[in-house]
A = this chain, B = another copy of it.
Amino acid sequence: MNYDEAKIKFVSTWGSLGSLWGINKAMAQIQALLFISTKPLSMEDIMEDLQISRGNTSMNLRQLMDWGIVTKEIIPGERKEYFTTEKDVQELARVIAKERSRREIQPVIKVLKEVSSIKDDGTEATKELIKQTKALHDLTETADDMINKLVNQKQNWITKSLLKLIK
């Protein structure tokens, strides 16, 4: 397998994996492309490489910036905008986990809390609904806490680094 084959394989695999972290194919592929690029890429570069339209590229780059994993890079003397992605896999994982928690897990926790808090009317069905949604609520919250622990761990790491600089 040479460079071009490997690159195509990586980008398309990462793209089809998009569903795992809740984003679409083009979005995941753009991120993958930037992830292995040695320099910032322009919209033109991305369109050409992935063979997708300008509109698609623009919209998905915006979403990636919303997620906080892609940033605009201004290159002096250049009219075009250039883009780069977070290159540290650990940080990438943290951002993705945090965003998924905020966008998808938190709303579910809210509903589970509401549902598990209904008044117990004494029927077996209500008791079961309360019991099971409560169990699900606790589980989901625990899982989410674990994610937040990881995020905060990063926070600590940054804090430590900053403290070292100050000292």
Chain A positions near chain B (C-beta within 8 angstroms):
1-3, 6-7, 9-10, 13-14, 17, 19-20, 22, 35-38, 87, 89-90, 93, 100, 104-105, 108, 111-112, 114-115, 118, 121, 123-126, 128-129, 132-133, 135-136, 138-139, 143
Contact = CB atoms under 8 A, between A and B. Distances in A.
A38 B1 contact: no
B7 A129 contact: yes
Interface residues of A, dominant DSSP: helix
Contacts of A10: 111-112, 115, 129, 133
A22 B104 CA distance: 13
11 contacts: A1-B114, A1-B115, A2-B118, A3-B129, A7-B129, A10-B129, A10-B133, A17-B108, A19-B19, A20-B105, A93-B143
A20 B104 contact: yes
Contacts of A115: 1, 6, 9-10
Given A36-B132, A114-B9, A115-B10, A3 B123 contact: yes
Q: Which 10 A-B pairs have the closest CB atoms?
A: A13-B111, A89-B135, A89-B139, A6-B118, A6-B115, A10-B115, A36-B129, A38-B128, A3-B126, A36-B132
B3 A132 contact: no
Contacts of A13: 108, 111-112
A130 to B, nearest CB: 9
A6 B7 CA distance: 49
Nearest to A107: B13
